[in-house]
Amino acid sequence: MCHRSVMFADAQRCTMSSGQMAAFLGSHVDAAPITQAVGRLKTVRTDGSLIRTARALGICLGD
C-alpha cells in the first residue's frame, strides 16, 4: 500500500494541481483535495492492522 502511494505521488507530481494529495481511498490510491483530509478528526484503532504493521516495521508512533 505504501509503495503504491509513493509511486502514485511520483507519477502525479507534474499533473496534480496545488491543493491535491495522494490518498488511500477505499482500496486504491488516488488524488484527493487536501481539504478532504482536514477539518475533522480521524482516528485509527490502536489495535488495528495498520498500527500493528507500523510497529512491526519499527515505526515509532509517539506512545
Q: Give me the residues paired with residue 31 across strands.
A: 22
Domain that holds residue 40: 2-56
Q: Which of 3-17, 23-37, 41-55 has the lowest mean pLDDT?
A: 3-17
* 47 occurs within a structural domain: yes
* 29 occurs within a structural domain: yes
> How many domains, in total, are found in the chain?
1
Burial class (CB in 10 A: 0-12, 13-18, 19+), 22: buried
Cα R_g (the chain), whole angstroms: 14
| pLDDT band with cut points at 50, 70 and 90 for residue 55 | very high
Predicted pLDDT of residue 16: 53
- The arithmetic mean of pLDDT across residues 28-56, rounded, is 84
Average pLDDT over all residues of the chain: 76
- The arithmetic mean of pLDDT across residues 38-59, rounded, is 87
Between these two residues, 10 and 14, which has the higher pLDDT value?
A: 10
Instruction: Give, for 50, the enclosing helix (H) or strand (E).
Output: helix 49-56
